[in-house]
Chain A
C-alpha cells in the first residue's frame, strides 16, 4: 500500500512563521500599481529578517500609498493618520514605545507637498523608523493632478506640462541630515528587497524614495515616472547585498570594488560599485551627484547615503529600555515627599 506523500513543511523564518503570516488584506489599488509590488517587497523583507509582525507599527498619511498598509502584515497595528502628518504620529508612537519597529508609508503628495514640514523635521530628528515614499509624481485618489515631485517638462495624460522644478526628496533628506537615504524602483525586486532589509536594520530614519508608477494617471508617453521611462533611465549606483546579523558573513569582498557598511545591529550592507568613485558615506558628493543626474534626466538608484553611527532621537533622549507607555506607576508618579518639597519651596 502506498503511503500518501507527506506534504512538505511550509518554509518558515527564524521565528517559525510562514510568509502567509505577514500577509495583509486584499489590495484595492489598481492592477499593476507599483505600490502593490512595494507592499510585497516590504512583507517579504520583514519575513526574511524575522521581524515579529506584532513589533511593527504601520503608519501612513492619506493617499493611494497610505492605504497600502492595509494590504500587508495584518498582524501589525496600523494607524492611517492625517494627510501629511504621519511623521508626527510616528514620532509619538516610537517615543511611547521604543521597542516598536515603525514603518511609515507615504506618497509624493503626502510627503513632498502637504507633509513637507513634518518630513523635513523627521529627517533632522533621526527618529528610528523606516519611511517609504511611494513616488509616482501624481495625485491618484483625486484623479491625476501633478505632485511636487513631478519632473520639469513631464506631461499629464491631458497633455498639460509641468513647468515647476521637482522636489528631490533624497537630495533634501541628505541635506537635512538624514542617516539612511535610498532610491529604488518598484519594478526592481532585487534592489528594493536588499534596500528594505538594510533599512530595517538601520537605527535612525531610513528614507526610501521608491519610484512607483501610477498605471492609471502617470504611465504614459511624456511621463518621467512611468515603467518605460524607468527602464531607460534607472542608473543603479551599485549592486546591493545585505547580510543580516543572524547569517554568516561567508563571502570575502574586495575593498577596491565594494563598500562594506556595518549596521548598528551587526548586519552588513555591501555595495558593489557600478559607478567608480561613488561613496555613500560622503554627504556632499552624494548631493552633487544627485543634482547632476537629475539635470541629465537620469534616476540614480541605490543606497545614496548612509551613516550607521549617528545617534537616533531615542539615543539622544537616553530613554529607559522599557516602553514609556507601560512603565509602572512607581516609575512615573513621584512619591509624596517630592510634592511636599515642591510645596515647601512655594511657601
Chain B
C-alpha cells in the first residue's frame, strides 16, 4: 500500500532564517494500527504546541483494530495554517509493510527517521537518513515484549525532539498530560522518550527542520471536533441521547456520556439525562424524535449510512414538526471501503432527506469552535423551528486534533421555542397545533402530559389540518406545505450567517464550507502570493442559505465552489436557490480522494481554471 499522498515538488531552494526551516514543516509517522502510536503522536504534537508553535494533526487510519498501516501527519506552521500539507518533510518509518513505498514517495531532500533493521537508506540517495535501532533503545526499559513494542513509539518522539530541537521538558510535560493518574505509564514513557533523545545525540543533523519557541498558541486549546460537539450538546442542556455506534461519530457520543455522568448526576445519584444505545439508527432517531415530541432536548449522532436509515423518520419529523438534533460526522460512502476517510458527501441527500417535499436545516461548522457553538445552537434552532436540525461535520473535523481558542460559555438562555403551558391554555381556551398565529409559519405546540383537557392533539404525518385532525383535503394539504416553506424560508435569518473574507472588490469569489475552511484560507494566500490573484471568500454556515449568499454570487464574476465530494453537492443546492442567470457563475472545485483538503489542491485547481 502506497503512502497516502505525497507531492514531488522540490523543497524551496532559498530558506529564510539562514538555512534552517523553522516552524514550517510536516512530519509523517508511519506505523501499524493498534501499536499504540496514537499516544506518542499526540505527545509529539502537544510538545510542539507547548512551544508556542501552531500545529495540526491528521490521523489517517484504516478500518481495522490492529495491524494495518496508519499514518499520522503533524504540521507545524509559524503562520498558523492548519490544513493538511501535502508535502512530507520528515518521515518516521516504523511500519515494515509500508516503509519502502513511504520512502519512495518522498520528495528529494526530505528526512527519514527509520527503524534500523528496515535498511531504507539503500532505496534512494537523495534523502537524509537517520537509522535508529529502536529495539535496542527500549530493551533496557522493560522485560515485557508487549510494553517494548509500545515504548518504541515513545522513543521516536525522543529522537525527533533532539533532531528538531524540541524541548525535552515539553515532551515530558506532554507525556504527563497523556497519562494522567498513571505514574507507572508516565515514568516508562518518559524513560523511552529520554532514551531516544539521548541516542539521537549520536546522529549528525543533516536536515534543515527546526522547532523554535514562539508565542502563537498561548491560551489556545487542542481538541477534536467530536469532543467539541459533545461539549456543545452538554451546554445545550441535552436530556435524551439515542445512538448507534458508527465511525466516525462514536467518539462524539462516548465523550458526551462521560461528561453527562460527571456533570449531570446529582448528589442523590439521580440523572438529568437518558442515553440509549439503540439497536440501529432507525431506532436511534425514532427515540430522539419521540423525546423531542415529548419536549426533551434530544439528539443522535451518526454518519452517512445512519443518515440514510433515518430518512423516513426525518420526513415524519419534518411534517409533524418535531425538534431533534442529528450530528452527521460525514465520511466516505456506504458499506465497507473507506469508512475511516473524510468527505462532505451527505450534503445533498441530507438537505432533502426523506420523500415528499421535505427540506431540512443543516448547520455547517468550519472549526472545532463551531462544532461547539453550533452544537449548542442546534438545540435552540430545533426547538424554535420545530424541525430536525442536522449538524454536518466530517471525519477530518470530528476525529482530528485542532488548535482553537477556548470555547465561549453560551451567552443566551436556552430557547425552548413555542410551547403552551396549562396556564396558557386556560387563557386561550384551546389551540390549533398547526395554525400560523404569528405569521412566521411556526405553530404553537403542547407537550404530552400537560394537565389541561384541551392540551391534547393527535400527531400524524403529512395529512393533517391546522388542528392536527386527519385530512386528505387538497387545499388543506397545499396550505400546510406553503406554511412549511414559509417556516424554512424564515429560517434563513435565524441560522448562522456566512463568514466573509476579502475586500469585496475581487472578481473571483471562493465559496466553501465545513472543514475546507483552513485549506481555503491558505489557498487564498497562495493565490495572492504566487499568482497575484485576489479573491473574496464566503464560508457558508447553514442551509437554507442566508440571503447574503446570493449577494456574494451577484458581486463576483466567477465563484469557485470548493467541496469535498465529486458532484458539487452544495453547488447543486445553490443552483436550486439562485436565479438562473447567476448559475453559470458557479465553478465547482471537487476534492474527493478521502484525504483532508489541502491548500495546494485548491490553489492549483483555481489557477488552472483561471488560466483557461
Give me the interface of A with B, judged by CB distance under 8 Å. Answer: 21, 52-55, 57, 59, 69-70, 74-82, 85, 87-97, 99-100, 117-118, 120-121, 125, 317-321, 323-327, 329, 331-334, 336, 338-339, 342-343, 346-347
Residue of A nearest to B300 (CB): A92
CB of B272 closer than 8 Å to a CB of A: yes
Interface window among B107-115, B273-281, B495-503, B531-539: B273-281
Residue of A nearest to B284 (CB): A88
Selected from A100, A329, A332, A338, the residue in CB contact (under 8 A) with B448 is A100
Pairwise interchain contact B295-A78, C-beta atoms closer than 8 A: no
Pairwise interchain contact A332-B231, C-beta atoms closer than 8 A: no
What 0/1 pattern do residues 448 to 472 of B give for CB contact below 8 A with A? 1111110111111100000000100
Q: How far is A201 from B108 in the complex, measured between Cα atoms in Å?
A: 78
By a CB distance below 8 angstroms, the chain B residues around A55 are 449, 451
Selected from A74, A117, A320, A325, the residue in CB contact (under 8 A) with B271 is A320
By a CB distance below 8 angstroms, the chain A residues around B406 are 343, 346
Selected from A87, A121, A324, A336, the residue in CB contact (under 8 A) with B274 is A324
By a CB distance below 8 angstroms, the chain B residues around A320 are 266, 270-272
Chain A to chain B contacts (Cβ below 8 Å), 9 pairs:
A59-B290, A78-B459, A89-B293, A92-B287, A97-B295, A118-B286, A121-B279, A332-B237, A333-B236
| Smallest CB-CB A-B distances: 4 pairs | A92-B290, A88-B286, A325-B295, A332-B237
Given A92-B298, A329-B413, A347-B221: A78 and B456 within 8 A (CB)?
yes
By a CB distance below 8 angstroms, the chain A residues around B169 are none
CB of B407 closer than 8 Å to a CB of A: yes
Q: How far is A93 from B451 in the complex, measured between Cα atoms in Å?
A: 16
CB of B104 closer than 8 Å to a CB of A: no
Number of interface residues of B (CB under 8 A): 72
Selected from B220, B289, B294, the residue in CB contact (under 8 A) with A325 is B294
Pairwise interchain contact B235-A333, C-beta atoms closer than 8 A: yes
CB of B447 closer than 8 Å to a CB of A: yes
Given A319-B270, A320-B272, A325-B295: A77 and B290 within 8 A (CB)?
no
By a CB distance below 8 angstroms, the chain A residues around B286 are 81-82, 85, 87-89, 91-92, 118
Selected from A57, A117, A343, the residue in CB contact (under 8 A) with B407 is A343
Query: Which residue, of A53, A74, A85, A87, has the highest number of chain B Cβ atoms within 10 A?
Result: A85
Q: How far is A342 from B406 in the complex, measured between Cα atoms in Å?
A: 9
Pairwise interchain contact A93-B448, C-beta atoms closer than 8 A: yes
Nearest-neighbour CB distance to chain B for A145, whole angstroms, equals 21
Nearest-neighbour CB distance to chain A for B333, whole angstroms, equals 24
Pairwise interchain contact B290-A331, C-beta atoms closer than 8 A: no
Selected from B282, B287, B414, B455, the residue in CB contact (under 8 A) with A54 is B455
Pairwise interchain contact B271-A318, C-beta atoms closer than 8 A: yes
Pairwise interchain contact B287-A91, C-beta atoms closer than 8 A: yes
Q: How far is A347 from B46 in the complex, measured between Cα atoms in Å?
A: 9
Pairwise interchain contact A95-B276, C-beta atoms closer than 8 A: yes
Q: How far is A29 from B407 in the complex, measured between Cα atoms in Å?
A: 56
Selected from B235, B239, B290, the residue in CB contact (under 8 A) with A339 is B235
What 0/1 pattern do residues 231 to 259 of B give for CB contact below 8 A with A? 10011111110100000000000000001
CB of B263 closer than 8 Å to a CB of A: yes
Residue of A nearest to B421 (CB): A326
Q: How far is A159 from B485 in the complex, measured between Cα atoms in Å?
A: 49
Residue of A nearest to B222 (CB): A346
Residue of A nearest to B414 (CB): A329
CB of B216 closer than 8 Å to a CB of A: no
By a CB distance below 8 angstroms, the chain B residues around A78 are 456-459
Residue of A nearest to B283 (CB): A88
Nearest-neighbour CB distance to chain A for B300, whole angstroms, equals 10
By a CB distance below 8 angstroms, the chain B residues around A70 are 458, 470
By a CB distance below 8 angstroms, the chain B residues around A82 are 286, 312-313, 316
By a CB distance below 8 angstroms, the chain B residues around A100 are 294, 448-449
Query: Which residue, of B271, B287, B291, B449, has the highest number of chain A Cβ atoms within 10 A?
Result: B449
CB of B163 closer than 8 Å to a CB of A: no
Nearest-neighbour CB distance to chain A for B122, whole angstroms, equals 44
Pairwise interchain contact A339-B283, C-beta atoms closer than 8 A: no
For window 470-517 of B, CB contacts with A under 8 Å fall at 470
Q: How far is A45 from B349 in the complex, measured between Cα atoms in Å?
A: 46
Q: How far is A329 from B286 in the complex, measured between Cα atoms in Å?
A: 25
Given A319-B271, A325-B239: A96 and B283 within 8 A (CB)?
no
Q: How far is A125 from B277 in the complex, measured between Cα atoms in Å?
A: 11
Selected from B220, B266, B447, B448, the residue in CB contact (under 8 A) with A347 is B220
Nearest-neighbour CB distance to chain B for A264, whole angstroms, equals 19
Pairwise interchain contact A57-B239, C-beta atoms closer than 8 A: no
CB of B410 closer than 8 Å to a CB of A: yes
By a CB distance below 8 angstroms, the chain B residues around A347 are 219-222
Given A57-B294, A96-B291, A338-B263: A325 and B451 within 8 A (CB)?
no
Pairwise interchain contact A118-B279, C-beta atoms closer than 8 A: yes
By a CB distance below 8 angstroms, the chain B residues around A69 are 458
Q: How far is A194 from B310 in the complex, measured between Cα atoms in Å?
A: 39
Q: How far is A69 from B274 in the complex, measured between Cα atoms in Å?
A: 27
Nearest-neighbour CB distance to chain A for B455, whole angstroms, equals 6
Pairwise interchain contact A97-B449, C-beta atoms closer than 8 A: yes
Selected from A80, A327, A336, the residue in CB contact (under 8 A) with B272 is A327
Given A77-B455, A336-B409: A95 and B271 within 8 A (CB)?
no
By a CB distance below 8 angstroms, the chain A residues around B407 are 339, 343
Selected from B219, B270, B283, B297, the residue in CB contact (under 8 A) with A121 is B283
Given A89-B289, A97-B294: A326 and B447 within 8 A (CB)?
yes
CB of B264 closer than 8 Å to a CB of A: yes
Pairwise interchain contact A318-B270, C-beta atoms closer than 8 A: yes
For window 289-309 of B, CB contacts with A under 8 Å fall at 289-298
What 0/1 pattern do residues 305 to 337 of B give for CB contact below 8 A with A? 000000011001000100000000000000000
